[in-house]
Structure formats: C-alpha cells, structure tokens
Chain A
Amino acid sequence: MPGVIAAFTGADLASEWAAPMPCAWPVTPDMKNPPHYPLATQRACYVGDGVAVVVAESPEQAIDALAGIVVDYEEEPAVTDLEDAAADRVLVHPDIGTNRAYTWELISDPDALKKAFDSAAHTVKERYIQQRLIPAAMEPRGVCVVPHPFGGDFTVYSATQIPHILKVMLGITCAVPETSLRVVAPAVGGGFGSKLNVYAEELLALALARKLRRPVRWVEERSEAALATIQGRGQIQEIELAADADGKITAVRVHLIADMGAYLQLVTPGIPLLGAFLYHGVYDVPVYGFSCTSVFTTKTPTDAYRGAGRPEATYAIERAIDALARKLEMDPAEIRRRNFIRPEKFPYSSAAGLVFDSGQYEMALDKSLELVGYDQLRQEQRRRRENGSARLLGIGLSSYVEMCGLAPSRVLASLNYSAGGWEAATVRVLPTGTVQVVTGTSPHGQGHVTSWSMLVADRLGVDPQNVEVLHSDTAVSPHGMDTYGSRSLSVGGTAVAMACDRVLDKARVIAAHQMEVAEEDLEVSAGTFSVRGTPEKSMTLQQVAFEAFTAHNLPDGTEPNLDGSITFDPPNFTFPFGTHVAVVEVDTETGKVDLVQYAALDDCGNQINPLIVEGQVHGGIAQGAAQALWEEAVYDDSGNLLTATLADYLVPSAAELPSFKTGATVTPSPTNILGVKGVGEAGTIASTPAVMNAVVDALSHLGVTQLDMPASPEKVWRALTNVGKEAGR
C-alpha cells in the first residue's frame, strides 16, 4: 500500500514488552488486575481496545491503510451496567473469574455506625448516578518518539501531564534503561487528568521507533479521544444520613459501585479512594462508614478526571443534605449552618481519619449568599410558584471541601499508592542576576511559569521578568512528580519557595563574609542585603551571585555558585473550601434547564496570582455544570459509544453559561510556608451539586426529588410527567 512502512498485530509485538501497562495503585492486596498490553492479542474488551498498528509515511496513508485490515471478531456479550457487572453474569475477563476488581472499606466504628442509624430521629437514603464523562481536553493526545542516530537513546515528546512518571513507566514496560530516555512534555493543551496516564500509544511509539529505527509519531483524532483516552466518573452511589431531631447529622454511610472500565489504567482503582474520606463534606460528623466495590465493564477505562473522587463525594453529600433539609422542611442554608465544622475545631480530625488544616465554612456560605442575593431569589421563587409560571426558579447551594496537594508520601503509602507525593525545585541566581527556576511540576494550561515567577520575584526581590522557569523536560528537570490533584502550587510552588529560602541563606553567608559583618547584622529587603544601622553598606543579590560565581572570596566551606535545591514532602494535604450558589430556570413544559446565575465563593488560602485563580474557578464551574446539565458518555447495550463526536457529546460553550460572580475568603493553610491550598479542581467539585440542587429546588414542590445527571430536557420532562401521573392516580 502506498506509504505504508509496517503493520503489526499485538502478537507481532508481544516480545517488545517487559511488563504490562502499569497500574500504580493496587488499592488492596487481592485486587484483580488483568494483564493489559498496548495491543490486545486474544480478546478485545472494549470499543477502543487496539488490535493492530500501521506505520506509514503520512497520517493520511496510515488511515487509508486501516481499511485494509480485516479483523475477524467473534462477538461476546457486553457488560455495560454496573450492577449487572457486579452480579458476574457475564465476565469481562473470564480468566479472573469475576468482574469485581476489589472491595475497599473505611468504617471507623461499625457498632457506632449501626447504633447511630438505629437511634436516629431522621434518616435519608439516596441513590445517585455519576455518569461517565469524556475529558475532551482542547488538544487531544499525541506522542512522537525520536531515536537518536547512535547509542540507543530516545527522546519522547508526549502531550502528557506526567513526563517524569512516564519516563519511569516507559523504562519498565519497554525495557529501556532510564538513562536512555528523555521525556519532554511540550506546550500541552489541557489535560484534566486524562493525560495523567501511561497510554498504549506511548508504549507503541517507543517500541516502533526502536524496531524501525526512525521517528514515530501518533496524533489522536477527536473520536479516538472519546474512545481510547480515559473517561471520568462512572459510579452508582448510595448515601445515607442519620440526623437528630434538630437536623444535626450524626452519621454518614456510603456504598459505591465504581466503574473501572475494561482495564486498570495508571490510577484507575484509586479514584474512588480520593473521595472515600470526604463523603461527610464540610460537616462535623462523628460516625462514618464507606465502602466501594469496583467492577470491570466492557467500556473505556476510567481514571482521574478533574477532581477525581472528590466531585463524586461532594455531589453525594451535598444532594443528600438537601434531601434531609426537605425532610425537615428546613432552608438548605440553615441545615448547612447547623452542621458545619466550626472554625475553632481546626485542625479537625475527621471520623474518616483525615486532619483538616483550616477552614471558615460558615463565613464562606454567608458571603456566597450575599454575592447572589439569596433572600431576593427566594422571594422571586415564591412569586413564580404562586403565579403558576411555567418558568420555575431553583436555587442550589453547594458547600465543599476537598483534599488536595497530593501529598504526603507516607499517607500515599498507607493507601497502597505506588509512588510518592513530594516535589523538587532548584533555584539558581545566575552570575548576571537573572534567576533560573527548575520545577518538577508540569503545567499544561495552569500558568506555573507566571505564578512561580511571581513567587520567586517576591521572595528574592527580583523582577518577575528576570525569572526563567524550566519544566516538563526530564533532561532539564530530572526530578519531579508532575501536575495533577491541585498539587502544583501547594507542593511544587512551596518547594520553589523553600529553594529560594536556601538561596537567601547562602547569599547571607556570602554577603556577611564580603562585607565583614556578622550574618545576624544583615537585613534583606527587595533583594538587597544591608547592614542593620548602616544601610549604605549593602550588596544586591546580583552582586552576591557574581561573587559566588567567581568564587574568589567565599568563606571557608561555602561552595561556589548561588543556588538552592530541595525536595519537599508535605506533612499533610491541604483543604480548600467554599460555597457555590447556582440559580436555574426550568421550563416545566419542555423540561429545559437554563443556568441563569452563578456565584462562587472560594477559599484556596493565600493567592499568588488572583487572575489565574479566577480562571481556574471559571473553567471549573463550566466543567462541573457540564456534568449536571449536558455531558454524558452514552453507551448502547452492546458497548458502543454513541457520543464520540463533539456534536453528540455536549461540551457547553459560553453561550450556555451566565457570567459568574466570584469572591474569595483567605484562610491560609498551616501546612506549607506559602499558606496556599490549591484551586485547580474546586470549581468542578462545587458546581455539579450546586446546579443539580438548583434543578431539584425548582421542582421539589411538585414532587420531583429524584433526578439524575445530566438533567436533560427529556429527563426533567419525564420526571415531571411521572409525578403528574402519580398525583393523578
């Protein structure tokens, strides 16, 4: 065929792999992890499971050649429903004898849990579905592997969030010495967790470049991204609350069935665990129980998607507390107030075993209600109900807390996560006074270069223009744990700040030596060391850097050059929080929901760059609202994805969204020297339940309280029709 260089099946390439595709999170010792290779050899387990690869001179020729491949599939039944999968009637992987990958439990005190529910004045039991989502980053995946002409080295360019982790994993799976691999993540167009993975195509590109001794490139198409890039969410949630007569929650009990998809990707099994500790939300709940059964289905693997586990947890508790409020005929704001963890309780040890760093939850609620004009909205809502309007108003609250800043390595170890949670940074003041920062984080749209420059400029007293930030290339930044889980600022940024402090410590020694004064007599301000009481006697950081460079006159035992490096392993997670309020109008005749107002009050601790914070919040709200109203990966019963284009998978645009009102409170985290918490996922975590609570709030007086996402016109219409039928009966 024209342009075709080679074509291989999975069997042809079997000898390329030293290990299966990695899953780095064996959450339980008995977790089932079916071997997963870049190309299936015997069984293809989902639409998107590759079976052959074609290498051609151009992408057009390669795609034409695909038409020449005839795969003789013997069809087996699909398993797409989670409860069906858990029943083990049809097995995705017959070899392992079950669809259940693992069951994981966290029950602080089983007797107390039972007692709390037996003796509760009120209980609610709710069941929610977390539909699967397609991450749909603006730039799909892509990888290019360039073999060096001599010596067996490779440079891997990949649109990844995790160049450092990818390098380790490529070394292990493809049996290439780590010293022979350089991984570069060039400007990456968004990830949202979907590029926190090690993908078949990355392994294939490396193996093929090795086999063919020429550069091999692969770029994903949009529909391929829907099928073969991980998807997010995919859970059935059962949550129960026990409460006393005043609406004070006394216990929370949760059971999940989580959809793993056909295989375990890098951190697939761990995603439910990232939420497992947070199903009591921002509320002071003494007794807690959580369990999760994770199942294989014949669908695309799931994995981390913006918020990963925490949006699911927040959704469940925030909808359930509204259900409790309805039962008690209490305002949703009031029931939250009664249950918040009070500010004086921090650091707060939760029944689930976390220590929450700091928080002022009621203040955030108050400010969010003020921002949106809560009381007037309630009046307007009443007015429309009384008028019999076909456009009902709904107001939804969502108070959230998340754990982010992944994180203390020892805590990750206790969860059986295979890697650490530290971050590395180096700060070098170059001889001319410009500053070079090397970070192990790997930005893909979050603006680390801007924020890191600002915080370095602040600490060292230099102009941010004179700070260079190097990242995302393992040859330049050899140590790093990359970017995900809102960790970059609180772990990586903190490491950069600490490296700056090391630079200042060293500079102080050199400056004191040069000026012949005691170190204690020096004060530093705006990048200048001056002698206390004799301010005309001073040295700039630039002068110190030049002295450190020439090394002509350094104190004994001081090494040349002015730099500082650190690897920082944080002592705890950080816990950002806030309250979001969504206002919707629901057309009761067509079922259409319009999001008409949105107010977000977020507390991510100290802010380095408020504009970037705001940008993260905006995108997050849109992405979370999308789950509530529009997005869903729909599969038919045979496991075909019906929403594999952006015409069918409804990513919203600005036209569907109101202008957001945003506000912030600042409660610094005591966990790191910057007092920062992280804001990458907050908007997504908070907005989904805020919007759904608003929809239910608009309709609950008509009897509609059970409604699953996305709240599409048809679903809303059916819910209204059903209560109408029941009322008529």
Chain B
Amino acid sequence: MIPAAFDYQRASTLDEALSILADRGEDAKLLAGGHSLLPLMRLRLATPAVLVDIGGLRDLSYVQDRGDEVAIGALTRHRDLQISELLLNQVPVLAHVAGQVGDPQVRHRGTIGGSLAHGDPASDLPAAILALDGTLCARGTSGERTIPATEFFTGFLETALRPDEVLTEIRVPKSPGKFSFKKFNRRAQDWAIVGVVALSDSPARVALVNMASTPVRASATEAALAAGAAANEAAQRASEGLEPPSDTNATTEFRRHLATVLVRRALEEVGL
C-alpha cells in the first residue's frame, strides 16, 4: 500500500499543466481528486514518474447555464454536482447520480473529469453522461477539441484522451424529464455490481454500469423501446451484445439477470 517514488508538480494554470504534460509525455499523470489514481498507485498498479496536480485549478470547477446545455468544469467535485441548483432543475439525473458515488469523503474529493478520464466501467458518472449524450472538451498543446461521450470510452480504463490532453469541460443537454438510477451493490459505499441510468426523454435512453469493459448504452433495449416494446420486453434485451465481467460479487450470468431486472425497474420508474 506504499506507492513507488514519484515526482510531484502542482500546476497553477491549465497552460502550465499542459506544458508539463508536453514535456514529460507518457511519464506524467494528471492528479485531480486522486480517488481513482492514488489507490492504483498504492497497489503499484500505476507507477507514474510524475504527478501533475491540477486540483488547484478552481476555474475549472463550475456548473453553468449555456442555453440548451449545461456546462460543467472538469474539476467539479461530485458533491458540488449533487447540490447544484442548476443541475437539480435542469439535469436532475446528474445531481442524483453524483450523490450515489462512494461515500461522503469520496464525493468531496473526486471530480467528474477524473471519473470520466479514468474510464472505469464500474463508475457511475460515465454512464450518466453517456445516457445524456454529453460532449467532452479536451485541451492539448495543439488546441481544443470536443468528443461525443459515445466515442469517448474506448476500452477498459482507456479513453479517447491523448496523453498530452486535459479534459476541461463536460456539456450535457438540459434533460429535466423523468429519470431513474438503479445502483445495485452489497454495501452502500461500493461501486455498482450493475447500475442502470434511464431517461424518459424521447427517444428513451438507457446506459449501464459495469456491464462491459467500458460504460455502455443498452442499445438493444433502446432499439426495442423505439420500436414500441413495453418495459418488460425491452428489459429482456438489456445485455444483448454485451460481455459483462465476472468477479467475486457476481458472475457474468448473474450480471445479465440483474441488468434485466434493474432495467425493467428503471423503465417502470420513468413511466415507460
């Protein structure tokens, strides 16, 4: 539980962070809330040579109204999402999901940018952003680009971000309609064994937590709903095309079963 030795640099501006990244390349890792990265380092599953601490970039912590969209700074902590009036009114699903992450300590440290950039299929916020059809903004030395959430998660703990890029902002369309978040776990503080985010807005969208090597949309279920299937019927197809993991909490087979039950419950809850 003792990490390997590393250098530590605290960035006071985004540009400074970018220039250190450009300098140190793959040796460098950004440090935001540290609640995914530090556990990996303690287990020596990650051994970055230098940590670039962007935790002090408070100008990247915000929730702003942008007309049809809400924009969220990458360094906004889960707790700030949970209590944001704007989100509670315009994107309530995001506030709710943020409130279900880990425990109070985790929610006061972890950031939405870190959660997305980490690319963990077991994390809650990525599924919410996927379901919302969000857009992610990244800045690199060569400029800024936007990446649709549906193209962001490329593999287990892998994303479309390049090593020299910082995720700066997440934009989601306002979605004040009904939502449901079903997080199934055995202890309150744990990651989801299976999680389901469902939105009633047309077309209805469903995203799954911990049902594949990346956060995913339940596309077969969505297609069934679009074709007019009832909740129960659409839920039967929750894990179609997916290869959910198997671990000490649940086998692949049980995860498939859970997804069916939880998707049905989520759809019923949003009135579909």
A positions within 8 Å CB-CB of B: 59-60, 63-64, 221-223, 589-590, 592, 629-630, 632, 634, 642-643, 645, 647-648, 650, 652-653, 655-656, 712-714, 717-718
| Distance, CA A214 to CA B161, complexed state (A) | 51
- Would you call B261 and A652 a contact (CB within 8 A)? no
- Would you call B261 and A590 a contact (CB within 8 A)? yes
Name B182's closest neighbour in chain A (CB-CB): A590
- Would you call B254 and A589 a contact (CB within 8 A)? no
- Of A59, A221, A653, A712, the residue contacting B249 (CB under 8 A) is A712
| Distance, CA A3 to CA B184, complexed state (A) | 47
Q: Within the complex, what minimum Cβ distance (angstroms) separates A67 from chain B?
A: 9
Q: Within the complex, what minimum Cβ distance (angstroms) separates A361 from chain B?
A: 34
Q: Within the complex, what minimum Cβ distance (angstroms) separates B47 from chain A?
A: 10
- Would you call B186 and A713 a contact (CB within 8 A)? yes
- Would you call B1 and A221 a contact (CB within 8 A)? yes
Proximity string of chain B (95-137) to chain A, C-beta cutoff 8 Å, 1 when within and 0 when not? 0000000000000000000000000000000000000000000
Given contacts A647-B190, A655-B187, contact A60 B5 (CB under 8 A): yes
Query: Does B75 touch A at the CB level, under 8 Å?
Result: no
- Of A590, A592, A655, the residue contacting B189 (CB under 8 A) is A655
| Distance, CA A632 to CA B4, complexed state (A) | 30
Name A589's closest neighbour in chain B (CB-CB): B261
Query: Does B226 touch A at the CB level, under 8 Å?
Result: no
- Of B4, B5, B190, B257, the residue contacting A717 (CB under 8 A) is B257
For the complex with contacts A647-B190, A717-B254, 20 further pairs of A-B residues with Cβ separation under 8 Å are A59-B2, A64-B4, A64-B5, A221-B2, A223-B1, A590-B258, A592-B184, A592-B186, A629-B186, A632-B248, A642-B248, A650-B186, A652-B187, A655-B187, A656-B188, A712-B186, A713-B184, A713-B186, A714-B250, A718-B254
Name A629's closest neighbour in chain B (CB-CB): B186
B residues 233-272 in Cβ contact with A at 8 Å? 248-251, 254, 257-258, 261-262
Q: Within the complex, what minimum Cβ distance (angstroms) separates B171 from chain A?
A: 32
Name A58's closest neighbour in chain B (CB-CB): B2
| Distance, CA A712 to CA B257, complexed state (A) | 15
- Of A630, A632, A718, the residue contacting B187 (CB under 8 A) is A630
Name B262's closest neighbour in chain A (CB-CB): A590
Closest 5 CB pairs of A and B: A655-B188, A714-B254, A221-B1, A589-B261, A63-B2
CB contacts (< 8 Å) of A629 on chain B: these are 186
- List 8 contacting pairs A-B, 8 Å CB cutoff, sorted by A: A64-B4, A590-B258, A630-B187, A650-B186, A656-B186, A713-B250, A714-B249, A714-B251
| Distance, CA A428 to CA B5, complexed state (A) | 53
CB contacts (< 8 Å) of B261 on chain A: these are 589-590
Q: Within the complex, what minimum Cβ distance (angstroms) separates B6 from chain A?
A: 11
CB contacts (< 8 Å) of B2 on chain A: these are 59-60, 63, 221
Q: Within the complex, what minimum Cβ distance (angstroms) separates A666 from chain B?
A: 36
CB contacts (< 8 Å) of A64 on chain B: these are 4-5
- Would you call B187 and A650 a contact (CB within 8 A)? yes
- Would you call B248 and A648 a contact (CB within 8 A)? yes
CB contacts (< 8 Å) of A653 on chain B: these are 187-189
Proximity string of chain B (175-200) to chain A, C-beta cutoff 8 Å, 1 when within and 0 when not? 00000000010111110010000000
Name A390's closest neighbour in chain B (CB-CB): B261
B positions within 8 Å CB-CB of A: 1-2, 4-5, 43, 184, 186-190, 193, 248-251, 254, 257-258, 261-262
Name B188's closest neighbour in chain A (CB-CB): A655
Q: Within the complex, what minimum Cβ distance (angstroms) separates A55 from chain B?
A: 16
Tell me if A's interface is mostly helix, strand, loop or mixed.
loop
Residue picked from B5, B43, B249, B257, most chain A C-beta under 10 Å: B257
| Distance, CA A714 to CA B244, complexed state (A) | 15
| Distance, CA A632 to CA B254, complexed state (A) | 19
CB contacts (< 8 Å) of B248 on chain A: these are 632, 634, 642-643, 648
CB contacts (< 8 Å) of B251 on chain A: these are 714
- Would you call B186 and A222 a contact (CB within 8 A)? no
CB contacts (< 8 Å) of B186 on chain A: these are 592, 629-630, 650, 656, 712-713
Name B1's closest neighbour in chain A (CB-CB): A221
Q: Within the complex, what minimum Cβ distance (angstroms) separates A364 from chain B?
A: 31
| Distance, CA A671 to CA B253, complexed state (A) | 56
| Distance, CA A589 to CA B263, complexed state (A) | 12
- Would you call B4 and A656 a contact (CB within 8 A)? no
| Distance, CA A696 to CA B261, complexed state (A) | 22
CB contacts (< 8 Å) of B5 on chain A: these are 60, 64
Name A645's closest neighbour in chain B (CB-CB): B43
| Distance, CA A647 to CA B190, complexed state (A) | 7
CB contacts (< 8 Å) of B249 on chain A: these are 712, 714
Q: Within the complex, what minimum Cβ distance (angstroms) separates B74 from chain A?
A: 25
Q: Within the complex, what minimum Cβ distance (angstroms) separates A709 from chain B?
A: 13
Q: Within the complex, what minimum Cβ distance (angstroms) separates A554 from chain B?
A: 60
Q: Within the complex, what minimum Cβ distance (angstroms) separates A48 from chain B?
A: 16
Q: Within the complex, what minimum Cβ distance (angstroms) separates A63 from chain B?
A: 5
| Distance, CA A552 to CA B32, complexed state (A) | 75
Q: Within the complex, what minimum Cβ distance (angstroms) separates A263 from chain B?
A: 25
CB contacts (< 8 Å) of B193 on chain A: these are 713
CB contacts (< 8 Å) of A656 on chain B: these are 186-188
| Distance, CA A59 to CA B188, complexed state (A) | 33
Name B184's closest neighbour in chain A (CB-CB): A590
| Distance, CA A45 to CA B154, complexed state (A) | 41
Q: Within the complex, what minimum Cβ distance (angstroms) separates B270 from chain A?
A: 18
| Distance, CA A656 to CA B185, complexed state (A) | 11
| Distance, CA A656 to CA B186, complexed state (A) | 8
CB contacts (< 8 Å) of A630 on chain B: these are 186-187
Name B255's closest neighbour in chain A (CB-CB): A714
| Distance, CA A656 to CA B257, complexed state (A) | 23
CB contacts (< 8 Å) of B188 on chain A: these are 653, 655-656
CB contacts (< 8 Å) of A60 on chain B: these are 2, 5
| Distance, CA A483 to CA B188, complexed state (A) | 34
Name A715's closest neighbour in chain B (CB-CB): B254
| Distance, CA A634 to CA B193, complexed state (A) | 17
Residue picked from A634, A656, A714, A717, most chain B C-beta under 10 Å: A714
Q: Within the complex, what minimum Cβ distance (angstroms) separates A720 from chain B?
A: 11
| Distance, CA A653 to CA B188, complexed state (A) | 8
| Distance, CA A64 to CA B47, complexed state (A) | 12
Name A655's closest neighbour in chain B (CB-CB): B188
Given contacts A655-B189, A714-B250, A717-B254, contact A222 B1 (CB under 8 A): yes
Q: Within the complex, what minimum Cβ distance (angstroms) separates B210 from chain A?
A: 13
| Distance, CA A653 to CA B249, complexed state (A) | 17
Q: Within the complex, what minimum Cβ distance (angstroms) separates B192 from chain A?
A: 12
Q: Within the complex, what minimum Cβ distance (angstroms) separates B172 from chain A?
A: 29
Q: Within the complex, what minimum Cβ distance (angstroms) separates B7 from chain A?
A: 15
| Distance, CA A642 to CA B257, complexed state (A) | 23
CB contacts (< 8 Å) of A634 on chain B: these are 248
CB contacts (< 8 Å) of A712 on chain B: these are 186, 249
| Distance, CA A648 to CA B258, complexed state (A) | 19
| Distance, CA A229 to CA B187, complexed state (A) | 24
Name B3's closest neighbour in chain A (CB-CB): A60
Q: Within the complex, what minimum Cβ distance (angstroms) separates B227 from chain A?
A: 25
CB contacts (< 8 Å) of B190 on chain A: these are 647, 650
Name A652's closest neighbour in chain B (CB-CB): B187
Q: Within the complex, what minimum Cβ distance (angstroms) separates B129 from chain A?
A: 24
Q: Within the complex, what minimum Cβ distance (angstroms) separates B195 from chain A?
A: 13
CB contacts (< 8 Å) of A648 on chain B: these are 248
Name A60's closest neighbour in chain B (CB-CB): B2
CB contacts (< 8 Å) of B184 on chain A: these are 590, 592, 713
| Distance, CA A717 to CA B189, complexed state (A) | 22
| Distance, CA A712 to CA B193, complexed state (A) | 12
| Distance, CA A642 to CA B250, complexed state (A) | 13
Name B265's closest neighbour in chain A (CB-CB): A589
Name A221's closest neighbour in chain B (CB-CB): B1
CB contacts (< 8 Å) of A650 on chain B: these are 186-187, 190
Q: Within the complex, what minimum Cβ distance (angstroms) separates A409 from chain B?
A: 42
Q: Within the complex, what minimum Cβ distance (angstroms) separates A534 from chain B?
A: 66
Q: Within the complex, what minimum Cβ distance (angstroms) separates B255 from chain A?
A: 9
| Distance, CA A650 to CA B193, complexed state (A) | 13
